[in-house]
Amino acid sequence: MIVQRLAGRLGLSELAFVAIVAGLAVLVPLANLTMPEGSLLHVSNASVVLFGKWMCYALLALSLDLVWGYCGILSLGHGAFFALGGYAMGMYLMRTIGTRGVYGNALLPDFMVFLNWKELPFTWYFFDWFGYAALMVMLVPGILAFVLGWFAFRSRVTGVYLSIITQAVTYALQLAFFRNDMGFGGNNGLTDFKDILGFQVQAQSTRAALFALSALALLGGFAAAKAIVSSKLGLVLVAIRDAETRTRFIGYRVEHYKLFVFVVSAVMAGIAGALYVPQVGIINPSEFSPANSIEAVIWVAVGGRGTLVGAALGAVLVNAAKTWLTAALPTLWLFVLGALFILVTLFLPRGIVGTFGAKFLGRRGTK
Amino acid sequence: MNAGRTTDALLYLDGVSVSFDGFKALNQLALLIAPGEMRAIVGPNGAGKTTMMDVITGKTRPDTGDVLFDGGRHDLTRLDEATIAELGIGRKFQKPTVFESHTVEDNLRLALKAPRSVFPTLAARRTAEEKARLDELFATVKLDAQRRTQAGGLSHGQKQWLEIGMLLAQDPALLLVDEPVAGMTDAETFETAELLKRINRTHSVVVVEHDMAFVRELGVKVTVLHEGSVLAEGTIDQVSADQRVVEVYLGR
Ligand SMILES: Nc1ncnc2c1ncn2[C@@H]1O[C@H](COP(=O)(O)OP(=O)(O)O)[C@@H](O)[C@H]1O
Ligand SMILES: [Mg+2]
């Protein structure tokens, strides 16, 4: 029923997006696991991990587009929600290592033994249980977004001030997570994971499954975001983006709407981070780096904000370019990224999908 | 509640004064609007027309005087803007602001009387009832052909009508309309007069306007404001024959 209602609202670009991502979710694992190495159809192990990362970035971009593209909230701290989701997953992965760590301590992760800690900090309680960790993946970013949004939106902090606050939050978190006494592994972060839900993290089949899950999460995030933006609430979000005072004047409590979409978006970003960590095998404070959040904004700008599919496309394209360029000309990447942002802002203010694909978006796809 | 004053008037102003730094923008203003009435308020620039609207909608507190609504049931000088809007006084400002990237229909949908909180709005479905309300509004504001047009693409006049439609969508008992035809073509001005007359069949209206041809078109009782108080009241022919009114308008 819901699926049907949603499908009826999709435009050509969106149907193509759904078909491609669903296709990849099936074909990439198949091509990796069943095709012989050396075959043209074989997808290498490294590529599976790389594509899996892109799926997570695409979900992060989608979540950012929901707040920025549709509600005008330019968050420069979305990387923080991604990293928090990642840490929650990392804590589960650490605790499942158990006695297989270097120090063989059944309860304490290696870095705690190394720091001479005797007891597990309460923040780590229950993280050996996957269900709890999965809940925290969503709850921790969601609560941070709620608290931050509660204060910021109520005091009507908007525009560049809000951007600066979000940027400051991710920076502060980075500094905090660097500290050993925070109990999250300091600057080394969490790593050396062994297995997830009983499957070996390093096993190729697990990686293929994680890729497929990431693609499905991207589809799920898209479905949720699309349902939101094509509801009446979605109309209110765009109304807030375009004429906030007027929206308030006809009786909508703008701060509640902003808070809602900010929290939903943070939860999506957290899920993206949680799927990312087992694939790359590490989470450390650099994930909180302000530059990461800014990069995510560039993905969305390149793909086209306020289009959802554009945000996902932008994330994949920019990261593909990054992978290629950092191999070919490593020192150039930051300049290219900066130039890309300037060029897009000047010549393609609506991004790739906003400019070329607007006709093919479903209802209320873009401006 | 006011102290025992009785009136049949929908809107009752008496002895209302507002001064800004000693300058009297309103000076012992008295005005009665009957239920179902449409009234035109005219007067030269600076006469206090907008200030009067501000007082009625709670944006400005008068220094003295009574401002009562709905047969004396509500003392508007004690209520804030949101409460007054909820009581059923809708105001259209001079400069139109519509949601430019939404279609005309979506603009009206957003303005329709409906729960305004987050989750009911998320779950809201298009109902037959909503459609009937929208059809009714479109019949009034005559923007049916633009239903699916983005509001940003409307002409100035059409934006004004859409904004009036959005006001109407909230179904207020009294509409305050400030200079609706400023910047409109003659044809649009005529259309706007027709629109207000249609609206007046089911709503009380107070319209402030400079444009005398427009006021004549409305064909309703006219109140002339000058230096913050009522200079003359009557039909358009009566007031334009009034020597003092002629002086105020021509003597500028
Ligand atoms: N907030 C204010 N502060 C100071 N003076 C004001 C303010 N609002 C209005 N006035 C003055 O009060 C007088 C009446 O203004 P207004 O009600 O806007 O007139 P109208 O709408 O009839 O042109 C004008 O002289 C104006 O300059
Ligand atoms: Mg005025």
> What pLDDT, on a 0 to 100 scale, did the predictor assign at position B5?
59
At A365, the pLDDT band (50, 70, 90 cuts) reads very low
pLDDT digits (tens, 9 = 90+) for A203-222: 999 999 999 999 999 999 99
B92 lines ligand 1 (CB under 6 A): no
pLDDT digits (tens, 9 = 90+) for A111-133: 999 999 999 999 999 999 999 99
B51 lines ligand 1 (CB under 6 A): yes
pLDDT at A362 > cutoff 90: no
Burial class (CB in 10 A: 0-12, 13-18, 19+), A148: buried
Domain B1-87+220-252, what architecture?
3-Layer(aba) Sandwich (3.40)
Determine how many CB atoms are found less than 10 A away from the CB of residue B133.
Answer: 18
On chain B, the residues whose CB falls within 8 A of the CB of A242 are: 99-102
The two tokens of residue A338 are 């900066």
The two tokens of residue B87 are 């009581």
Q: Amino acid identity of A188?
A: N
Average pLDDT along chain B: 92
> What pLDDT, on a 0 to 100 scale, did the predictor assign at position A363?
52
pLDDT at A317 > cutoff 60: yes
Q: Does B110 contact A228 at a Cβ distance shorter than 8 Å?
A: no
- Cα(B206)–Cα(B12) distance, rounded to whole angstroms? 13
Residue A365, domain member (yes or no):
no
DSSP string, A44-99: -HHHHHHHHHHHHHHHHHHHHHHHHHHH----S-HHHHHHHHHHHHHHHHHHHHGG
B45 lines ligand 1 (CB under 6 A): yes
- Average of per-residue pLDDT across B132-153: 95
* Percent of chain A at pLDDT exceeding 90: 85
Q: Amino acid identity of A97?
A: I
Q: Does B109 contact A232 at a Cβ distance shorter than 8 Å?
A: yes
Q: In this structure, are residues A218 and A312 in contact, taking their beta carbons and an 8 Å threshold? A: yes
DSSP strand pairing (B89-92 vs B11-20)? unpaired
Average pLDDT along chain A: 93
pLDDT digits (tens, 9 = 90+) for A224-235: 999 999 999 999
Torsion region of A306: left, alpha or beta (phi above 0 gives left; psi -120 to 50 gives alpha)? left
pLDDT at B4 > cutoff 70: no
Q: Which of B110, B119, B150, B176 to mutate to test the interface with A (most CBs of A within 10 A)?
A: B110
The two tokens of residue B108 are 């009206």
pLDDT at A2 > cutoff 70: no
Query: Nearest-CA distance from A303 to chain B in Å?
Result: 20
pLDDT digits (tens, 9 = 90+) for A321-334: 999 998 888 888 88
DSSP 3-state assignment of A202? coil
> What pLDDT, on a 0 to 100 scale, did the predictor assign at position B1?
45
- Average of per-residue pLDDT across B93-113: 91
Q: In terms of pLDDT, which residue wins out, A332 or A277?
A: A277
pLDDT at A366 > cutoff 50: no
How many Å from the N-terminal Cα to the C-terminal Cα in chain A?
27
Q: Which of B76, B63, B137, B82 is nearest to B104 (CA)?
A: B137
Residue A367, domain member (yes or no):
no
Q: B98-178+189-205: same fold as B1-87+220-252?
A: yes
Using the structure block, give the residue that is written with the tokens 């009294």: B174
At A355, the pLDDT band (50, 70, 90 cuts) reads confident
Domain span at residue A167 reads 2-360
Q: In terms of pLDDT, which residue wins out, A327 or A269?
A: A269
**Which of B13-33 are b and which e, b meaning 16 or more Cβ less than 10 Å from the residue's Cβ?**
bbebbbeeeeebbbbebebbb
B71 lines ligand 1 (CB under 6 A): no
Q: How far is CA A342 from CA A302, A309, A345, A346, B79, in A?
A: 10, 21, 5, 6, 50
Q: Identify the H or E element spanning B46.
A: none
Cα dihedral angle (A248, A254, A257, A260), rounded to 10 degrees? -170
Residue A108, domain member (yes or no):
yes
> What pLDDT, on a 0 to 100 scale, did the predictor assign at position A141?
98
**Widest CA span of chain B, in angstroms?**
61
Nearest ligand, measured from the Cα of B47: 1
Half-sphere CA count of A103, side-chain side, radius 13 A: 13
- Average of per-residue pLDDT across B134-153: 94
pLDDT at A4 > cutoff 90: no
DSSP 3-state assignment of B229? strand
**Interface pTM, i.e. ipTM:** 0.88
Q: In this structure, are residues A260 and A195 in contact, taking their beta carbons and an 8 Å threshold? A: no
Using the structure block, give the residue that is written with the tokens 């994680």: A210
Determine how many CB atoms are found less than 10 A away from the CB of residue A345.
Answer: 13
Residue A329, domain member (yes or no):
yes
Ion ligand 2 nearby residues (CB, 5 A): B 50
pLDDT at B86 > cutoff 90: no
- Average of per-residue pLDDT across B182-192: 92
* Percent of chain A at pLDDT exceeding 70: 96
pLDDT digits (tens, 9 = 90+) for A158-190: 999 999 999 999 999 999 999 999 999 999 999
- Average of per-residue pLDDT across B230-249: 91
Among A257-271, B213-227, B236-250, whose mean pLDDT is lowest?
A: B236-250
> How many A from CA of B35 to the centre of ligand 2?
24
Closest CB to A235 among B98, B106, B166: B106
Half-sphere CA count of A32, side-chain side, radius 13 A: 25
Domain ranges of chain B: 1-87+220-252, 98-178+189-205
DSSP strand pairing (B222-226 vs B38-42)? parallel
- Cα(A316)–Cα(A121) distance, rounded to whole angstroms? 38
**Considering Cα of B11, then B17, then B21, then B24, what sign does the dihedral take?**
positive
Q: Which of A108, A125, A69, A113 is nearest to A237 (CA)?
A: A69
**Considering Cα of A6, then A8, then A9, then A15, what sign does the dihedral take?**
positive
Residues 6 or more apart whose CB falls under 8 angstroms from that of A38 comprise none
What letter does residue B39 receive in the DSSP assignment?
A: E
**Count of H-run helices and E-run strands, chain B:** 10, 10
> What pLDDT, on a 0 to 100 scale, did the predictor assign at position A229?
97
> What pLDDT, on a 0 to 100 scale, did the predictor assign at position A1?
53
DSSP strand pairing (A199-200 vs B204-208)? unpaired
Cα dihedral angle (A31, A34, A39, A43), rounded to 10 degrees? 30
- Cα(B200)–Cα(B221) distance, rounded to whole angstroms? 13
Q: Identify the H or E element spanning B115.
A: none
> What pLDDT, on a 0 to 100 scale, did the predictor assign at position A136?
98
Q: In terms of pLDDT, which residue wins out, B250 or A12?
A: A12
Q: Amino acid identity of B236?
A: I
Q: How far is CA A114 from CA A103, A121, A180, A186, in A?
A: 8, 15, 11, 12
| Domain B98-178+189-205: top CATH class | alpha beta
pLDDT at B166 > cutoff 50: yes
- Average of per-residue pLDDT across A341-366: 79
Q: In this structure, are residues A262 and A268 in contact, taking their beta carbons and an 8 Å threshold? A: no
Q: Amino acid identity of A264?
A: V
At A367, the pLDDT band (50, 70, 90 cuts) reads very low
At A40, the pLDDT band (50, 70, 90 cuts) reads confident
pLDDT at A3 > cutoff 80: no
Total domain count for chain A? Answer: 1
DSSP 3-state assignment of B18? strand
> What pLDDT, on a 0 to 100 scale, did the predictor assign at position A45?
92
**Global model pTM greater than 0.80:** yes
How many Å from the N-terminal Cα to the C-terminal Cα in chain B?
42
